[in-house]
Structures are given as C-alpha cells and as structure tokens.
Structure 1
C-alpha cells in the first residue's frame, strides 16, 4: 500500500522510516548491496569494445568537426587523405589553445576548493560498509563567479571570448590530450595507492571503466567536479563565443543562436543550482572514475554537444547572414526546449530531494529558478524489504524514466533549430538515445537484482519507462 505524508513531516518521518526499515535484517541487505556493487560485468563489448571506443571516439570527433569546418556539414569519405590533412592542420595543438583549456580547468578547480557552499551527505557506499561521504556543493557560487569574471576579462580585452570558436579545433585537441592524460594519471595513482575497486583484470577494460570509485583531492570530489564544472560550463561558453562573433559580424543576435545560448544556459544552470542532488546519483554511487567519465566530461561533452552551435556559426559565415527559420518553426523549437526543460528539472528535483530526505541530507535551497512541482507535497512510495523506498509519486508515477524523455526532448530541439541540411547536428540526440537505452538496461538489471519482488511490484505500479501508454 502506498504511503502518504505531508510535506511538513516529510524529511523527519521518511528518514526515520527508511532508517528503521534498513535495520531489519540489515546484514542481509548490506551483503546484497556489496554483491551488486562488486560484481564485474563486461559491458560495451568487453575489452575489445572499450579499446575500439577509446581509439574510435576521438577519431569520430575529428571527423565530424572536419566535416563541419571544411565542408559545412557534408559527410565526406573517411578515407579522403586530403580531408585528414586539413584536419591535422586545423586541429594541431598550439600553446595558446592549451593555455586556454588548462587555465579554464585549473580556475574551475580553484573555485571548487574555495567558493562557499553547503556540505551534503552522499548515499551510503556499499564498499565502505554504508558510510556516507561529504560533498562540498559550491557549484552555484562558482558558476556566478565564472560568469562575472568572464565578463570582466572580455570587457577589458584581457581575453576575447570569440577566440573559443576561432580556436575550436586546437582547443578540442588540447581537451582530447588532457582526457587521455588525466585517465592514465588517475589510473596509475590508484594502482600505486592500492585503492582500486571492482577490477576485471584486463588493463584496457579497467582503464576505460576506471580503478578508483571515489577520487578526491582534499575536500573536492573529482568525479562530481568533472561531471558539471568542466563539460557544461565549457559548452555554454562555446555558444557564447559563437553568439558574440555573430553579433560582431552582423550587428544582431539571431533567434537560432539565441536558442543555443538559452539551451546551454538552462542546462549548466540546472546542474549548478541542483548540485546538492548529485551525490545520490548513479554516477557517484556506482561508476568508477576512468576513461568513460574522464574523457567524456573533459572532451566528449563540450566538443560534440556543440555541433548545432558550430553549424549555425559556419552557416552564417557562408550565407552572409545568420541562419533563421519561419516563426512557427522557431516557436516550436523554443516550446519543445522549455517544456522538456521543465519536466527534466522538476523530475530530477522530485527524485533527488526524495532520496536526500531518505538519507537525512535534504537541505532547502533557493537557487534560481525553483520551479513549481519541484518538491512533492504528498509523495507516494513503495517500502522495499531491502530497506530503500521507491518513489511512485510525481513524474515517477507517470514513467520510470520521465527525466530521460525530457532530456531527449531538449536534445532533439537542439537539432531542430538547425534545420535538416546536415545529419551532424543530430549526433547528440541520436547518440543520447543509444546511451540512455544502454544506461536504462543496466539500471533495470541492477534494480531487479537488488529489490527482487519489490521491483516487480514497482514495475507493475509504474509500467511505462519513457512515455505513458507507449513505452
């Protein structure tokens, strides 16, 4: 039977109930958690698959950038020697681009160490016998400090933000080299310290998945830092760079480029304003810090999710004017973006505030914007024998992965705003579909093992994964 509680009782009652429930046969369910956490399952095609990914994905990044930069989005033969000569020249590493990229990463790390913010508890860690780690959540103050300083340095001419779009190929190479370097350094340091976790015994697979579960430098959790402080901030500034360039060239900002600024601002701002929710997520609890997370956050996200911005930028240069669409199509794109954002933001907020209340780590935040229905007033849930509470209220009573559906709405909106002249601007949404299907499969398998019959009951109550009545 679902349980109903008022918001005033929420934090206290739900935490006490979860805590009491976990103490019933606690040893048994701790063993289940530890077994699931330590189980080695070869994914992504095993050692051969991950090796292909580590070599192939950077190559794919160069290929798609080259098609956008030199051929304005047309797909050329990957065996074209002249094409790769152009790419090698246009993306060759330079001291200037390396200095920009490394300085940005170090500045964000400096802010992560020094800016004020609340400290929240993460979820219980199975390999640490249920210990909850502390996370310093100063993303909001770091984000605003970054915005203010970037405006100052651009205004004073110390660094011109349009240089980011002009130096894109060189910056991408700096990021790719950094991603590989950090991966190897973290891996070797972990092995030398004897701090490795859930190792398969295959070097390439373990390098890809990672060796360390909770990498830290002092009070900064590197996994959480890499997840939001580097990729999304840099992605936003790539769009800002293109927008400033467009304004300098044509004297105005087009609705299409304005869309990309809004889209990327909403995403990075949501990550920062809800940073305290991240410590209870799958990445923090289960994923290790290897190539998969390191390269993806330091290079993959900022330099592949920006293809719509790049295409709009190059199209405006070729056409002598910014790319614009009909008013109905533009309104559709903005509506799809904002609708997806609202569902995504409130769904994540509902789930993670529920988790934090269960863990006793919920703290009220007034970070902008706080959207209606972001916190459930009368949440329903299933009390499992394992001890965890499975949320069945709000968006989570409509679909098990409603936030992923909303994420995909935004992703396709990013592509739609560019039109249909090139397939490259749809790389992000198509790739995201593949990633989410794989991730959902992993999550469903893990939850089935962990909760057993209670998971079957949860699936009965919430039968749809993505879209109610469809799938």
Structure 2
C-alpha cells in the first residue's frame, strides 16, 4: 500500500447506509423546503399540508429536472464564473504543505471578481430600469434550478471521481505520477469514495475545482436568490419591507466577507483535509444557495415590519457573533505566525503548540460559537410565526457538532497526551460553560 495514499479504514456516516441516506435525503430536503416557501403554500406553525407539498402545479419530473432554458442558464453561470476565475489576475498564494512535500498555488482574486460582479448587477439594473428579468426568471424557476444544481453536483462528483484514477501529467513531490488522495476517501468502495471525495485537490491545469466551488457559484447564487426574492416582494407589494432588506444586507455581508477573504479558506478543513466528492459538491452548489436563501424567499410572500428596536437587537446579535468569529480566528492565525508568544499554550511532541489562552481558553471551537450566533441573526428577521425559517441554525448546529467531533478524533490521534492535557485546560467544546 502506498505511503502517500493510505487506505481508509474508518468510514464516516455509518458507511454505505449513511452515505445513501444523505445522498437521497438532503436533495429531497431542498425540494421540500422550496415547497414550504413557495407562493402557493402558507406555512403556519408546525402544520404541513402533504397534498400541497407534493403539488408541482402541472410540472412533471422531466419538465423540472431537464428544462433546457434552466440548464443553459445554469451552465453559463457556472462556466462563466470558471472563465472569470481563471483569467482575472489576482495574488498568487501557496496552500498548506501536502503529504508529498509540495504546496499548491492559488490565484486569489475575490476582490476583483466581486467588483466585477457588483458592476454587472448595477449595469443590468440601469439597462432594464429596475425590471431585472433575470431575477424574475430565477425566482419563478427556483425549483428547477434547485434540481438542476443537484444533478450537476452529482455529475461533477462523478467527473472528479473518474479523474482521480488517472495519473498526473507530471511528477509529484515524491517523483511519481500518483495523485494525492483524501485520507478519508480512499476506502476502495466506489460509492463511498464518490460521496466523501477520493482526490484531495482535483484540478484542471491551474484551476482548483474545490476552492472554486467553495466560494464562487453557490455563494454568489445565494446572493442572487436573495435579490430575486427582494425584487419579487417589491413587484408584489410595491415596497421592500425592513425585514427583507435586513436579511439581504446581513447575508450579503457574510457572502462578500467569505469571497473577499478567500485566502483564509486555504487552511480550512474543507481544503486541507476533505476530498472533493458529492458531499462538498452538493453542499457548495445546491444546499448552500437554495436552503440558505430560505429566509428571503419566505419573506417574499410573508412581508414583516420589524421596527427600529427589534432591528437594533438583531444587529447587536450579528455584531457580537461576527466579532467573536473574526477576533478568535485572527488571534489563532497570529499565534500560528509567532506574533503572540505571551499567550499560554501546550507543547506537543510534533513541535507544534496548542493554544489555550485568550479566546481559546473559553472553548475548543469558540469561532464556531461566534459563527452560529451570527447565523442566528439571519433568522430573527422572519419573526416567530413558523420554525421553518430557523431551519438553517438547526442544520448549522449539526454541521458544527459533526466538525467538532471529527476534529476531536483527529487531534486525539495526532497529539496524544498533549491533547489530554489540553482538554483539561479547555473542557468546553463550543459554547463556553455550556458544552
């Protein structure tokens, strides 16, 4: 067995049963959430009308999944962004050192691309005098775009699965043509590896598929879906309510913060550890845009006036959450760069240090707590009529708990006794004094 690519022994999600359940269940959830928030379904409390939930208003599955116009627009969107991502100049940054001793180069051009994207939106607004037919089409065909994105993400995962078996065109750092596979995605079971992701960093030339999908098509489509909902509310009611405006502003801030600070993704688990398979492809391209925009779509047909005091409270929650998230991450990054030598830490046998001071004395993942708190501010503008619009923070909590568990297992194996000492000093996992 290759030392570069050890065989995966421990399967996540209970192996094949879990992988199948997620691969079928989450796409179904995307459709269900859309149905609960369309213009024909009025959600109140926990009551669900099953007949209306399965009512696609005369559309067959083939008309939803294989709409030629929707496919054309989606492919133009995806590959247009690929083109801009590769031709727009940026700053070249190196990623983490890989198992073969090399590090990949990334073209960091989020600022330039964001400026071009905003300019294009402003230009279309001016040329169409605010009618924006693209946003109308996107809102009216959100279900079709959802299903198309799911199918495309499955095909993309299949593509990178196949190419992971092909040798590199040139040699790697070990002097072979062997690709670097994800430690968790080299089980030998084709379905499991397709889901988890077999290759660590699938690329076509210099274009990195994983980083691109992480920050470009899904994130920016999420922004467009929010704008389409706000545009629909304006056309329907003749005004944009403060709740809709607040959701758009809070989520746009988060989206652009991610796109503009893409360099920070180079050290995230998604990039450094996880392979790129259906789990990430579907999450990036379908789950993020079509479920994270749920609050805006709900408010498009259920307008809500918040008032200054409640808006102030929501902004306070958003600020506190974002401050904790940013301040804690910045502190850890500075510590790793040797800029904060006065902070307490635990020396490991791997010549690294575990930070247990400052923000990181409060919990092992204090940044997760800040991120979750910030996300809560996106749901609060929808009021408390239905729990539907709080889906995101429930899902996000599950995601963060899963990440924390994976990180804990990895750190126990990696750091041994040093990790045991660390857990005694920092006993809380995410929420200080709670969990």
TM-score (normalised: structure 1): 0.80
What's the counterpart of residue 161 of structure 2?
A: 187
Partner Cα separation in structure 1 for residue 273 and residue 189 of structure 2: 19
What's the counterpart of residue 290 of structure 2?
A: 303
- C-alpha deviation, 1:217, in angstroms: 1.9
Partner Cα separation in structure 2 for residue 284 and residue 221 of structure 1: 10
What's the counterpart of residue 334 of structure 1?
A: 315
What's the counterpart of residue 404 of structure 1?
A: 368
Q: Is the 8 A contact 1:47 1:204 kept in 2?
A: yes
Classify 1:423/1:115 alpha carbon distance in 2 versus 1 (closer, same or farther; 3 Å). Answer: same
5 Å-filtered alignment, 1:67-466, equals: 67-69=36-38, 70-73=40-43, 80=51, 83-86=54-57, 88-89=59-60, 91-126=64-99, 128=100, 130-157=101-128, 160-193=134-167, 195=179, 197=181, 198=183, 199-315=186-302, 322-355=303-336, 357=337, 379-466=343-430
Classify 1:88/1:209 alpha carbon distance in 2 versus 1 (closer, same or farther; 3 Å). Answer: farther
Question: Secondary structure at the residue paired with 1:161?
Answer: helix
Over aligned residues, Cα RMSD in angstroms? 2.6
Partner Cα separation in structure 2 for residue 132 and residue 52 of structure 1: 35
What's the counterpart of residue 40 of structure 1?
A: 9
**Structure with larger RCO (C-alpha < 8 A, sep 6+):** 1
- C-alpha deviation, 1:456, in angstroms: 2.0
Partner Cα separation in structure 1 for residue 371 and residue 344 of structure 2: 24
Please, which runs of 5 or more residues in structure 1 have no aligned partner? 1-30, 316-321, 359-374
Spell out, residue by residue over 1:193-223, the C-alpha distance to the aligned partner (whole angstroms, 9 max, x if none): 4747342122221111011111112222111
What's the counterpart of residue 29 of structure 2?
A: 60
TM-score (normalised: structure 2): 0.87
- C-alpha deviation, 1:147, in angstroms: 1.3
Q: Is the 8 A contact 2:32 2:53 kept in 1?
A: no
Partner Cα separation in structure 2 for residue 262 and residue 122 of structure 1: 31
Partner Cα separation in structure 2 for residue 401 and residue 259 of structure 1: 28
